[in-house]
Amino acid sequence: MDPHTPWWHKTILYQVYPMSFQDTNHDGIGDIPGITRRLDYIQSLGVNMLWINPIFASPKVDNGYDVSDYMQIDPQFGTMEDVEELIHEAHARGIKIIFDMILNHTSDQHPWFQEALKGPDNKYRNYYIWRDGKEEGAKAPNNWEGFFGTSVWEKGPRDDDQYYFHLFAKEMPDLNWENPDVRRDLTDIALFWLDKGIDGFRLDAFIHIVKEAGYPDLDLPEGEIALAEQYYANLPMVNQYMRIYTTTLREHFPDIYMLGEAASADVELARSYCDPNQGGCNSVITFRYFTMDEESKDPRLNGNMQATNLLYQPFKENMDQWQHAMNDVGGPTLYWSNHDMARTVSRIGNDHVYRDNSAKMLATLMYLQKGIPVIYNGEEIGMKNLFIDAIEDFDSPEAQKFYEKALDLGYTREWALHNLRETSKDSARGGMQWHDGDQAGFSTVEPWSGVNVEKKYNVKEQMMDSNSILIHYKKVLDLKRTELFNSGAYRLLLTDDHFYAYERELDNKVATIICNVTEDMHYYDLEPVPDNGYRRPILSNEGVRLIKGGNTVRLGAYGAVVLLTDYE
Closest to 557 measured CA to CA, from 361, 307, 313, 344:
361
CB 18 within 8 A of CB 51: no
Query: Residue 252: which H helix or E strand, with range?
Result: helix 237-252
Strand order in the sheet with 544-547: 522-525, 552-555, 544-547
The model's confidence at residue 473, banded by pLDDT at 50, 70 and 90, is very high
pLDDT confidence of residue 3: 66
- Mean pLDDT of the 289-306 span: 94
The model's confidence at residue 372, banded by pLDDT at 50, 70 and 90, is very high
Measuring CA to CA, how many Å separate 230 from each of 146, 206, 220, 552?
12, 15, 15, 49
Q: Would you call 261 a catalytic residue per the annotation?
A: yes
More confident residue, 330 or 21: 21
- Catalytic residue, chosen from 204, 356, 422, 426, is 204
CB 164 within 8 A of CB 211: no
Measuring CA to CA, how many Å separate 539 from each of 385, 473, 489?
27, 11, 19
Rounded to a whole number of angstroms, the distance between the first and last alpha carbons of the chain is: 21
Q: Determine the residue type at 106.
A: T
Report the C-alpha gap between 388 and 420 in whole angstroms: 9
- Mean pLDDT of the 133-160 span: 92
pLDDT confidence of residue 259: 97
Report the C-alpha gap between 448 and 434 in whole angstroms: 16
pLDDT confidence of residue 318: 96
pLDDT confidence of residue 513: 98
pLDDT confidence of residue 365: 98
Report the C-alpha gap between 474 and 477 in whole angstroms: 5
DSSP string, 375-444: EETTGGGT--------GGG---HHHHHHHHHHHHTT--HHHHHHHHHHH-GGGG-SPP---SSGGGGT-S
Closest to 344 measured CA to CA, from 359, 325, 333, 361:
359
The model's confidence at residue 283, banded by pLDDT at 50, 70 and 90, is very high
CB 202 within 8 A of CB 100: yes
The model's confidence at residue 398, banded by pLDDT at 50, 70 and 90, is confident
Closest to 565 measured CA to CA, from 513, 500, 493:
513
pLDDT confidence of residue 330: 83
- Mean pLDDT of the 355-365 span: 98
Of the chain, the percentage scoring pLDDT greater than 90 comes to 94
Closest to 367 measured CA to CA, from 395, 414, 331, 327:
331
Please give the angle made by the CA atoms of 174, 276 and 196, to the nearest 5 degrees: 65
Q: What are the chain's domains?
A: 7-104+180-211+219-475 (3.20.20.80), 488-567 (2.60.40.1180)
Please say if the pLDDT value at position 526 is more than 90.
yes
pLDDT confidence of residue 352: 94
Backbone angles phi, psi at 489, to 5 degrees: -65, 150
Orientation angle between helical segments 80-92 and 180-196, nearest 10 degrees:
60
Least confidently predicted of 52-61, 159-168, 175-184: 159-168
132-138: Cβ within 8 A, 24+ apart: 132/161, 132/162, 132/163, 133/161, 133/162, 133/163, 136/161, 137/161, 137/162, 137/163
Please give the angle made by the CA atoms of 385, 296 and 394, to the nearest 5 degrees: 30
pLDDT confidence of residue 491: 98
CB 153 within 8 A of CB 131: yes
The model's confidence at residue 5, banded by pLDDT at 50, 70 and 90, is confident
Report the C-alpha gap between 9 and 3 in whole angstroms: 12
The model's confidence at residue 48, banded by pLDDT at 50, 70 and 90, is very high
pLDDT confidence of residue 243: 96
Query: Residue 555: which H helix or E strand, with range?
Result: strand 552-555
Count Cα atoms within 13 angstroms, Cβ side, for 567: 9
- Catalytic residue, chosen from 261, 380, 422, 426, is 261
pLDDT confidence of residue 296: 93
Please say if the pLDDT value at position 2 is more than 70.
no
pLDDT confidence of residue 4: 75
- Mean pLDDT of the 375-384 span: 98
User: Could you give the 3-state DSSP secondary structure of residue 49?
Assistant: strand
Please say if the pLDDT value at position 407 is more than 60.
yes
User: Could you give the 3-state DSSP secondary structure of residue 275?
Assistant: coil
- What average pLDDT is seen over the chain? 96
pLDDT confidence of residue 124: 98
Dihedral over Cα of 334, 339, 340, 343: its sign: positive
Report the C-alpha gap between 531 and 420 in whole angstroms: 55
Backbone angles phi, psi at 13, to 5 degrees: -95, 140
Count Cα atoms within 13 angstroms, Cβ side, for 446: 2
- Mean pLDDT of the 267-282 span: 93
The model's confidence at residue 159, banded by pLDDT at 50, 70 and 90, is low
Please say if the pLDDT value at position 1 is more than 60.
no
**Residues contacting residue 369 through CB under 8 Å, at least 6 positions apart:** 319, 323, 331, 334, 490, 502, 504
